[in-house]
Amino acid sequence: MDLWWVFWLAVIFLAPLILMGISTTFKFHFKVVCYCILCLILSALAAPVCLVKNGGRTVDNMRIIRAFVRTMKYFFGLRFEVKGLENFQVDGPCVIISNHQSILDMMGLMEILPDRCVQIAKKELMFAGSVGLITYLGGVIYINRKRTSDAKSIMALVARAMTDDNLKVWIYPEGTRNNTGDLLPFKKGAFHLALQAQVPIIPVVYSSFTSFYDRRKNLFTGGTIKVEILPKIDIADLKEEEISELTEECFHTMRKVYFRLSGKPLPAGGQGVSNK
């Protein structure tokens, strides 16, 4: 009997395990690929559930997506310690801002995502296969970061949708992923949106991932992520000219919490406001 297929099947399954034990670079990239594949699989499984239950694109699908994504932490050995969930108990819409570190942020977001909350994401995400489909079904708001005029008009529509549909909107004010061990300067878009919609801002801070996920060191292991949801910031009396000051204040407050949660001393400096 020809058993060569058994041999090659064993090679296919065993080779990655052997290489992971030999090469940290291979282990890192293999786990990243597995993460992306799992995202695609779970998105493909969640999409028909969303369509059957809710019929199409709606923020209500985020409950289903959240349930699927929450299973991912078990595959990658991640734990979450969450403090301040009661601060999400606000009447009406709000803008939620948080630091943005890596592809793992999706797990952190879905671990605490409140009901009727959508994210603002780059337009390219729409074309990411089943992940793009599930973000569309979940009501994610897409913007073209290369066209500032489009972003501004979309923000105006978002402000109206927040009040009309009672939506919470999640934004990363750093504007891009940042796994350097500090926060990038905050852009002002989230704060302009809160002012335009006349809704409070709720800051959320995740501890540093660098002890278990660091692209520069080809590190991807299990670990604990500490999350703290800070009290809401009421902007009812805020004036347009005070947005820069509020952005700066939020940056420094969240930066202090970030280093405290990460168990690291707060370094001096750190500029908080981008011109955008």
Which amino acid does the sequence have at 90? V
pLDDT in tens, 197-224: 999 999 999 999 999 999 889 999 999 9
Which amino acid does the sequence have at 35? Y
- Weakly modelled stretches of the chain, pLDDT under 70: 1-13, 15-17, 19-20, 145-152, 269-276
Q: Where would I find the H helices in 167-212? A: 189-197
pLDDT at position 42: 97
What pairing do the DSSP bridges indicate for beta strands 141-143 and 213-214?
unpaired
Among the listed residues 63, 24, 29, the one whose alpha carbon sits nearest the alpha carbon of residue 46: 63
Give one DSSP letter per residue of 14-45, joined into a string. HHHHHHHHH-HHHHHHHHHHHHHHHHHHHHHH
Rounded Cα distance, 268 and 252, in Å = 11
Q: Catalogue all structural domains in the chain, each as residue range(s) with its CATH number.
A: 4-261 (3.40.1130)
pLDDT at position 5: 64
Sequence-separated (6 or more) residues with CB below 8 Å from residue 241: none
Among the listed residues 143, 145, 98, the one whose alpha carbon sits nearest the alpha carbon of residue 117: 98
Rounded Cα distance, 253 and 203, in Å = 9
pLDDT at position 1: 47
Rounded Cα distance, 97 and 170, in Å = 6
Per-residue DSSP letter, 97:
E
pLDDT at position 206: 97
pLDDT at position 145: 66
Rounded Cα distance, 34 and 62, in Å = 23
